[in-house]
Amino acid sequence: MNAGWKAFWIALGTIAAGIVAFLLGRRHGEGVGTGVSSIPSPQAIASQAEIQVQQARTEIKADSDAELAARFNALAKKEKP
């Protein structure tokens, strides 16, 4: 095997090792300078969404309760006289 083929196989092995290292780094969220670790996990996104949905439900229920109380009071005032 001449020097050209040896260099080819060394380069090919180096490229393959780089690709494997890159993919393993992405899988574990340890990408250097790629911002991979700043991406939230699906579980974190789901829990944050659930919190926002619960807050919206609470707000809607409070508005609904206030509106029902206002209607009831308006009807009660009409029946008194």
pLDDT tens over the chain, length 81 residues: 688 888 888 999 999 999 888 888 776 554 455 555 577 788 989 999 999 999 999 999 998 988 898 888 888 887 765
Question: Do residue 25 and residue 45 come from a single domain?
Answer: no
Per-residue pLDDT at 5: 84
Question: Is 34 within a domain?
Answer: no
For residue 35, being part of any structural domain is answered with no
pLDDT at 31: 46
* pLDDT of res. 23: 82
- Residue 74: other Cβ atoms inside 10 A: 9
φ/ψ of residue 9, rounded to 5? -65, -35
Token pair for 39: 């991406």
For residue 3, the model assigns a pLDDT of 83
The total of structural domains in the chain comes to 2
Could you list the residue range(s) of the whole structural domain that residue 6 is in? Answer: 1-29
53 and 75 together in one domain: yes
CB hemisphere CA count around 70 (13 angstroms): 6
Residues 24 and 47 in one domain: no
